[in-house]
Each structure stands twice: as C-alpha cells, then as structure tokens.
Amino acid sequence: YEGATKRFEDGYGNDLSGFDVDCLKGIGSLKIGDDCFKKVNRFVIDGLNELKSVNIGWNSFKLNKENRCGSKCLIMNCDQLSEIHIGGWSFFWYESFELKNLPSLISIQLDQYAFMKCHSIVFESMNDWMTDEWDLTRLQSITLGYAALLGNDDNVESNELIMKSMTDSD
C-alpha cells in the first residue's frame, strides 16, 4: 500500500481508555497487534481518505460485561479503504459494529469470535449524489470465522445485522 503504515505493537495501549485517531491522519495502512487497547470501548475512524487497509490482531479491544456499555466500533467515510481484517476475539463484548460509506471496500474478514456478544451490526452504503457512485458495490467477500458476530443472548431483546443501500431520493 502507498502511504505510511502506523503500527501498534502487541500489548500496546492497555492502560489507555481512549483511542487517539488523530495519529492516523495521512496514514495508508493501520496495523494493530495482538492484546492491544483492552480498556478502549470506542474505536471510531471517520474521514481518513488516505487509509487503504485496517488490520487488527487477536484479543484487541476486548471488553467484558462491566465495561461494555456504550461500546462501538465505527469505520466510515474513508474513500480508499479496501480491506478490513479483524483478528480472533477482538472487539469481544462490543455493543455495535458499523461500516458506512466505504466506496472502495473489497474485503471484510472477521476471524473466530470477533465481535462476539455484539448485538448491532450495520453495513450501510449510501449513494454519492455528487458522483452518482455506489459504495459497497465493490465488496467481493465477507469472511467470517467460527462464532464471529455471534449475538448477545444475555439481557438483550434482539440482535440485528443490517445490510442496506440507500439512494438519494432527490
């Protein structure tokens, strides 16, 4: 990939409660190792137009019942992002996972138990009325490992997976 790679080594950031997305400006590739960011309950990437790949290792962003309230993984508005790979057991206990407006996305891979206990998953595409281009039309594969996206069955009325396209009605 063109552009610099931002790497977080195994075990990084386990004393941090937040993920600082500002360090990713201008980055082409994000690689987060195993066992990282265990106390971070909001991972939001929005509008990083140089970003082409996100690769997160095993057991990263792994919460528990006590610290999961309000937890969210949101990746949106990244024009060139083509590949997302989330390692096993990462984002365990996260409440929601959303991918929105990613026009170049080709592949999503979630290894075993990724986003387990997650009860809201939304993959949403929106028509860009400026260029009349659809996003998520390039998506070629969604690969799910064992029990990836397995919903939460404790104290949640329902689990949802929403995949939709919206057009500009004007």
pLDDT at residue 140, rounded to an integer: 83
What pLDDT sits at residue 57?
Answer: 98
Residue 157: predicted pLDDT: 75
What's the pLDDT score for residue 136? 53
- At 170 the pLDDT is 41
Report the pLDDT value the prediction gives residue 1, as an integer from 0 to 100: 44
Q: What is the pLDDT of residue 169?
A: 43
**Predicted TM-score of the model (pTM):** 0.88
The confidence score (pLDDT) of residue 151 equals 86
What's the Rg (C-alpha) of the chain?
16
Residue-level pLDDT at 65: 87
Sheet (strand 4-8) strand order? 4-8, 27-32, 53-56, 83-86, 107-110, 141-144
Q: Which amino acid is at 20?
A: D
Query: Which ranges of the chain have pLDDT less than 70?
Result: 1-2, 126-137, 155-156, 166-170
